[in-house]
Structure 1
């Protein structure tokens, strides 16, 4: 990578933070640590991290609230760390704006894999700092939806839609091949870069969240994201 990626690990268990830090530092990542929600929120808003590993069950402010409050200001990719049996919390985490999750007990190598998958795409800092320079070949225009890839900007019904990096990538990927149906497995592989790790519900939750955000400004744009039952999803262009 061109620069050392900066990662924030948030977990109240020191042994987990130490384990993740050891594996991630082997990959030359720069690591900061936080042990509770208030500290994590303060650090996340004060610095531009490339990824945040966020435990959901934290003392004080829990991980879901931390995620929601970060999302009010930044689009930093967030990977949730959750214990088995916390499926409801994972769904709430996705709805709060998380991009991915890893279930405890986890393999540290899996966490490294997921971090690298997120960092292969544009980091949150790149999304926030990219100048909105428009070139004709980078803009995808539909009747109710416009995607400016240079500026990483989505507008629907003339209003900008605030998307997380992963939501943007998913929408842009579908928009590059309008009316083509993609399976959940294809989307996991091409958008999340998961060849063997990954939960198909990750795709469903991001599609749901993407539709909800578009629907707030343009129901027509939201309806373009069509479910093909038993197969997957496509971006359907109005006839």
Structure 2
């Protein structure tokens, strides 16, 4: 997203609506190029697998009533396909591939956005909240993406 809006609330809203990045005008074209390169590297890391094994054999990861198809970038809830922006999908996929492990906001930010990204760990909270609204039956009482107070987030792959 390239915009003249510089307020923190605008950045949070833009990222919350699914933007993968947020750049304010005026901007340095070399910074834009660096961010695009960073996103491409991250895409390559995520699609190459980086030595990670998928939890489930085949092309799907099933977490309770949510099915994630990493190769097609599709997510299904109770059999209905959800529209999930790229960063939210990457976050969900990462958590699903590492179930029941607690990750701090900083760890998730580093894994999903990378070192080159200019923002902070609050971005993770925004994306987690957006994901919860989409995949949880009750976003106010999450059963899949749990908050571990003082530590971070974990994906619960067990029925509660």
- 1:189, 1:195 within 8 Å by CA — same for their partners in 2? no
- 2:66, 2:75 within 8 Å by CA — same for their partners in 1? yes
Distance 1:196 1:95 in 2: 16
Cα pair distance change 1:114/1:231, threshold 3 Å: farther
Aligned residues: 147
Q: Which residue of 1 aligns with 2:14?
A: 93
* Cα deviation, residue 194, structure 1: 2.1
Q: Which residue of 2 aligns with 1:219?
A: 138
Q: Which residue of 1 aligns with 2:121?
A: 200
Once structures 1 and 2 are overlaid, which stretch shifts more, 201-210 or 190-199? 190-199
* Cα deviation, residue 93, structure 1: 1.4
Q: Considering only aligned residues, what root-mean-square deviation do their CA atoms show, in Å?
A: 2.7
The gaps in structure 2 that reach 5 residues or longer are: 45-55
The gaps in structure 1 that reach 5 residues or longer are: 1-52, 58-81, 124-134
- 2:75, 2:82 within 8 Å by CA — same for their partners in 1? yes
Q: Pick from 145, 150, 155: which aligns with 1:230?
A: 150
Distance 1:103 1:223 in 2: 36
TM-score between both structures, scaled by the size of structure 2: 0.77
Question: By percentage of residues, which structure has more strand?
Answer: 1
Cα pair distance change 1:187/1:113, threshold 3 Å: farther
- 1:147, 1:154 within 8 Å by CA — same for their partners in 2? yes
Q: SS of the residue aligned with 2:22? A: strand
Q: Deviations over 1:90-110 (max 9, x none)?
A: 122123221222456766554
Q: Which residue of 1 aligns with 2:95?
A: 174
1:54 maps to 2:9: no
Q: Which has the larger Rg?
A: 1
1:153 maps to 2:74: yes
1:112 maps to 2:36: no
Distance 2:90 2:24 in 1: 23
TM-score between both structures, scaled by the size of structure 1: 0.54
Distance 2:155 2:129 in 1: 14
Distance 1:160 1:195 in 2: 32
- 2:146, 2:154 within 8 Å by CA — same for their partners in 1? yes
Distance 1:230 1:195 in 2: 26
